[in-house]
Structure 1
């Protein structure tokens, strides 16, 4: 008997596409405004410089967290699924200039429009659905596998491995479809014409155009780890298609595609809450937010739903511009990426994959300069090095704290004319929070207390502790603390960097769970009292996908752990 898989719910609010019609709003719009400060740029730069580490240390016990490294980039993947446009510098919001000022909050809400619909529905993977331009709709169609339209297109890797150091191909996947799909393949098979591709991508150089990612959000090709994570979700969809097809769950390519997409999306949403949030937030806060059904976000949603287009959810600026940027402190300066790096079998130290290389081996990086047509096979990720909280030093995420890895002080950015300040990630984040007129942390804590959520604030001495202390006190930030910095320092002081503190956990958990609570098509709205779990989804390897390891095994990207042998049973006696 085939499993009785539920058919996907028809989306009651179709996504309006990539037009910037979605909204950012303030959680705490009525909190005291940020005062204009003619000295702010120097104060911000002094704090940003104090946050940057002075050297790149491979094994730093002070910087090792208990968070698997994958969650650094899963957070980025989530961010790309729900927000876009806060980093674009329209007039008035240009932070790459002298003389920045906080903008009026009504102007911020009017001018800064989200390019995403705010829902955790994997439009970064699948595209934005109905309501797009004809060119964008054609690109979305090209993202499906032309040989099997129920599946998503994958990209082949380019063979370069020869067994010598640095040129060793990982064992998995066993096929060569280990890259995200690229525009060149769609041009070659006729899914897109060269002219259509140029219109969609806006790239005049043919080699770079062909290497451009053919995915729902091109930002998922900005570094290699998030690109390989995107690739794993494409493979998850395809593995679910195979299982659903074998079970006879749907007839026709489009119906099968829709059902696999629904299962993929619900599994992803379940992972966001039960794996991601419980790793990066205080688990007790996550449970409280779940139990109360995200009251902060629900109140925010009710206040703004009349001004939000159909199919979209409002996005809090305090989350997008500050709280959810905590992940920048988790980024490592280099990674034990695959067997071409790290420690060899004989214990010999080998070079780690550098931060620069992770940007170079992408469509927007330097692959065309290397003469490559796709990702080289010696750069396939080995996920077992990213999904564990234990293991050798250098394999977990860095702690969530007020220190940033050295490469983040001089970010790779190929855009001509970009100033040094825009390469300095901490300075960029602090300047943006100021220009967006985000309430400071003390004001937000006061507003939450007024609403009935009392969070013990950090003292001025706690805020000014550590290497950033002088810059904090000199800048007056110990009494009026930029929200992004406060979230990092709170995690450092209250949780030893192993997860977010109480305020950071509240803002992140309320927002992500709130997006699911207010979305009638989310996994939290399925089953009796939102009881859906991955046990009810297709199981490509015969077990529910309730961990990153199970997902990667289902995708053929991780070897299953052999079952322990059964203990011998005593002989029966009569």
Structure 2
């Protein structure tokens, strides 16, 4: 996520509105919306026994008025931000070896960027009314590392190394095969840390701006690397996501080194000209094969409910086993239940501080602000900011005190960013008045990432929790999973647990974190926003370690469907696929991987880290 918390795929890929405000757009019924502005398919298709009104947006409209329902979300967001107060209905889960290592928080963000990209556009409709939603996914291929490759070296040459020296038999090479990286600042003399590393490629060229430097001379010095030369600017949102991007770029370059060297050795022996673009494609395919394997075999295996994972995951001893999907999102689209609700669970994993190298811990806000947009004068950063990925993905002999785990999953989120929430009028015009909340007896402006996520999850028509459960129950395996958990199988149990959490007393005799009116508790307990429920379920069912069945189902339907090859048939209202291509790599790709890694190509993030270690 960036400093404003943009984590999920269809969120704005760069920055929130000026002044760090989060504009609370009003929710509008489906029938009143412009079809051209809502052209996306929810994950859950309307079911025969579920009315169109059974959506988060429609349910929220049952509340008295615009201000009332937005105040309700602001109060819930304030309750979710009190992350030091344990839940009243579940035993607190400590941040220890039971939770996911801290690096998986940001691997999730990287995957989100690779699934979709919704570019900021000037929001003008035919009626001249600003369009409140940016819905088009510009990601042509999903889970194929398009977020680092872009359209390849022919379409986006700035992202690739430009060869400038002769290679084979004195011939000059111009085709680009390697991803471009940048240098880091040298460590200051009084620091003991001396560590090599790379940064994203950053550009600082004062000669480009004729308005401020009409005459370029030798005395003009660049002040910071103001622009980043990468395919997806969101991958420079903060210090951790930029370095994780560098990690995958280095993986590609390591594979490309081997492929190019082998080809050039053969050409030097008289094998003829070299197709360097073909060599780039080979390196891309090999790198992508590793990445796709990590997505399911490492990330989803850790984060999903185990029963849901087994329902969807590939089986190496049966590569042609069909897997049935219960939903059919349009090709290239990302379901709003995924983008605006379930996949935002990563915000609950964020720690308040991280130890990157060996010098000191960095506060979260400092990490989120380190990028070419917020602090161009500091770019590229120095070695004190370099992440020791062994500390994020595996101890590898590091003392346990230095290894970092993510925060346990639950309906509480680490405060981040200075967001202040404003109320919009029904027509989507400028903000009219600010909202405030009463938190622990103090009246403060409504702010924070939890409120922002709630607003987004309730700003588009998406399936309610009941509708998701109804869809899951169409599958016998899913139906059995639901039956094992009273929170899912019994609505009275579900509403009771949520009500107790909302009405939890303060600790040690202090005031409640947020006071909810009885009618508010009753409404939210019966109609929990999907984003909130995914986190609540992760605490109640997943014990803070992994997602519960509902959240896992939404992730599995979306991500596994992008990894599977479609096949005919499938369950009613859904489709079928198989993972033969995922598990049985083409011989050429397998050969390239074996040449670099032997018989043990990386299958997890720590495997990648180890393969790139000095």
Give me the TM-score of the superposition, normalised by structure 1. Answer: 0.71
Give 2:144's aligned residue. Answer: 121
Deviation per residue, 1:345-374 (Å, 9 max, x gap): xxxxxxx21112112321122241xxx341
Which blocks of at least 5 consecutive residues in structure 1 are unaligned?
1-17, 98-102, 131-136, 199-205, 306-312, 342-351, 560-574
Which blocks of at least 5 consecutive residues in structure 2 are unaligned?
1-12, 14-35, 47-51, 87-91, 165-175, 213-220, 267-273, 315-320, 422-429, 436-444, 489-493, 505-514, 568-576
Deviation per residue, 1:510-563 (Å, 9 max, x gap): 21110111479x99452786799996624535442122222123223xx6xxxx
Give 1:444's aligned residue. Answer: 468
1:235 and 2:244 are equivalent in the alignment: no
Match of 1:281 among 304, 314, 317: 304
Residues 322 and 578 in structure 2, CA contact (< 8 A), matched pair in contact too: no
Q: Structure 1 residues 527 and 384 mapped into 2: Cα distance closer, same or farther (>3 Å)?
A: closer
Q: Structure 1 residues 55 and 87 mapped into 2: Cα distance closer, same or farther (>3 Å)?
A: farther
1:380 and 2:386 are equivalent in the alignment: yes
The 1-side partners of 2:144 and 2:99 are apart by 28
The 1-side partners of 2:124 and 2:348 are apart by 29
Equivalent residue runs for 1:308-323 within 5 Å: 313-323=332-342
1:540 and 2:599 are equivalent in the alignment: no
Give 1:272's aligned residue. Answer: 295
Give the 3-state SS of the residue equivalent to 2:416 in structure 1: helix
Deviation of 1:444 (Å): 1.4
Give 1:404's aligned residue. Answer: 413
Residues 114 and 146 in structure 2, CA contact (< 8 A), matched pair in contact too: yes
1:395 and 2:404 are equivalent in the alignment: yes
Q: Structure 1 residues 394 and 263 mapped into 2: Cα distance closer, same or farther (>3 Å)?
A: closer
Give 1:566's aligned residue. Answer: none
The 2-side partners of 1:55 and 1:449 are apart by 36
Give the 3-state SS of the residue equivalent to 2:313 in structure 1: helix
Q: Count residues with an aligned counterpart.
A: 467
Match of 1:183 among 195, 203, 206: 203
Q: Which protein shows a greater Rg?
A: 2
Residues 83 and 320 in structure 1, CA contact (< 8 A), matched pair in contact too: no
Equivalent residue runs for 1:32-111 within 5 Å: 32-33=54-55, 34-35=58-59, 36=61, 37=63, 38=65, 39-53=68-82, 62-64=94-96, 65-85=98-118, 90=123
The 2-side partners of 1:549 and 1:443 are apart by 38
RMSD over aligned Cα atoms: 4.0
Residues 355 and 407 in structure 1, CA contact (< 8 A), matched pair in contact too: yes
Residues 184 and 380 in structure 2, CA contact (< 8 A), matched pair in contact too: yes
Give the 3-state SS of the residue equivalent to 2:178 in structure 1: coil
The 1-side partners of 2:538 and 2:531 are apart by 11
The 2-side partners of 1:183 and 1:385 are apart by 30
Residues 22 and 117 in structure 1, CA contact (< 8 A), matched pair in contact too: no
Residues 487 and 500 in structure 1, CA contact (< 8 A), matched pair in contact too: yes
Match of 2:612 among 527, 544, 555: 555
The 1-side partners of 2:381 and 2:566 are apart by 37
Residues 55 and 406 in structure 1, CA contact (< 8 A), matched pair in contact too: no
Residues 78 and 446 in structure 2, CA contact (< 8 A), matched pair in contact too: no
Give 2:28's aligned residue. Answer: none
Deviation per residue, 1:124-147 (Å, 9 max, x gap): 1011359xxxxxx66x11111113
The 2-side partners of 1:355 and 1:88 are apart by 29
Deviation of 1:394 (Å): 7.0
Match of 1:504 among 551, 554, 568: 551
Give me the TM-score of the superposition, normalised by structure 2. Answer: 0.67
The 2-side partners of 1:207 and 1:444 are apart by 54
Residues 114 and 142 in structure 2, CA contact (< 8 A), matched pair in contact too: yes
Deviation of 1:21 (Å): 13
Give 2:561's aligned residue. Answer: 514
Deviation of 1:220 (Å): 0.7
Deviation of 1:334 (Å): 0.6
Which stretch of structure 1 is more off in the superposition, 461-470 or 64-73? 461-470
Give 1:361's aligned residue. Answer: 370
Residues 118 and 138 in structure 2, CA contact (< 8 A), matched pair in contact too: yes
Q: Structure 1 residues 504 and 530 mapped into 2: Cα distance closer, same or farther (>3 Å)?
A: farther
Give 1:13's aligned residue. Answer: none
1:263 and 2:286 are equivalent in the alignment: yes
Deviation of 1:169 (Å): 3.4
The 2-side partners of 1:86 and 1:403 are apart by 29
